[in-house]
Chain A
Amino acid sequence: MCANAHRPFDEDALVSALRRGDRRACDDLVRHYAPKLYNVALRLVGRPDEAEDVLQETFIAACEKIKDFKGHSRLGTWLYRIVTNNGLMYLRRRRPTVPLDEVEEASVNVHPRLLQKWPDDPASAVDVAELRAAMEQAIAELPETLRLAFVLRDIEGLSTREAAEVLGISPTALKVRLHRARLLLRERLAEYFTTVRGGSQ
């Protein structure tokens, strides 16, 4: 069983095993995907206890629906779509009167203002815990639609096509959201690096 942990990941074999109801396959599914899906859930809903609820709902739904998984997309893409939809439903239940912030998304000015260079290796030039906190706050303040595009594409490393498929939008629309997200985060981190360096000089 210990060798299990180092077995190479074979997606087709995992899907077949899940369809057969193989219990070890569920372990593999959790081990391989839970960290990724938790990250998406937490970035989306914001609180660890709520992210855990979303994660649990996602795995229950995935195990129930694995027979419907057609194999047209990768298993990961399919799972990211379930966790994203569950997270969005969770947010709508929490604040049912607030519409998705697409209006806000389009009206935010993303033109770069702060144009000073950052340290060459930014993470080693400042206090990492403090930097991480600034990063967390910056991403939490992004409109949901932009945040999802950034998390899927740049943190989870999906391709443009895959991330667009997860969100049910065109690759062009995905690129527009990603562009805005990256520029807004860049601006916020620029504020951080400018303040930190300005303060220490």
Chain B
Amino acid sequence: MSLSPEEPCRRWLAHLCDYVDGELDQSLCAELERHMAECEACTVVVETTRQTITLYRHLGRAELPEATRRRLKQLIERSVHEQD
């Protein structure tokens, strides 16, 4: 299985983001879904792109270290004092 670098898969790849973001207009969206029903490659690209976004949304955020938060608060408190 491969994603054709030619039409029509190439054309659908350009609409990938609008589709996964729910921003593709209705007629194009219906047309893409008809294509995906017959094209496993495009289906996998859509599905794994969604999974990529979901994974980063859930696991991709760096935690603010407690010590960093504490030092930031101290810094701001000092600078507010200086302004007083």
Which residues does A use to contact B, with CB under 8 Å?
21, 23, 26-27, 30, 34-35, 38-39, 42-43, 48, 51-52, 55-56, 59-60, 63, 111-113, 115-118, 122-123, 128, 131-132, 135, 139, 150, 154-155, 157, 160, 175, 178-179, 182-183, 185-186, 189-190
Question: In the complex, which residues of chain A have a beta carbon less than 8 angstroms from the beta carbon of B3?
Answer: 111-113, 115
Question: In the complex, which residues of chain A have a beta carbon less than 8 angstroms from the beta carbon of B28?
Answer: none
Question: In the complex, which residues of chain B have a beta carbon less than 8 angstroms from the beta carbon of A183?
Answer: 16, 49
Cβ-defined partner of B52 (8 Å) among A111, A128, A186: A186
Cβ of B7 to closest chain A Cβ, rounded Å: 14
Whether the pair A189, B52 counts as a contact (CB closer than 8 A) is yes
Cβ-defined partner of A150 (8 Å) among B18, B44, B56: B56
Whether the pair A175, B79 counts as a contact (CB closer than 8 A) is no
Measured between alpha carbons, how far is A190 from B51 in the docked complex, in Å?
A: 10
Whether the pair A155, B61 counts as a contact (CB closer than 8 A) is yes
Measured between alpha carbons, how far is A183 from B3 in the docked complex, in Å?
A: 13
Given contacts A63-B79, A111-B3, A112-B45, contact A135 B68 (CB under 8 A): no
Cβ of A195 to closest chain B Cβ, rounded Å: 15
Please name 15 further chain A to chain B contacts, defined as beta carbons within 8 Å, in addition to the given A30-B73, A118-B47, A154-B57, sorted by A numbering.
A21-B83, A26-B77, A35-B61, A52-B72, A115-B3, A117-B47, A118-B48, A131-B59, A135-B59, A139-B60, A155-B57, A186-B48, A189-B48, A189-B52, A189-B55
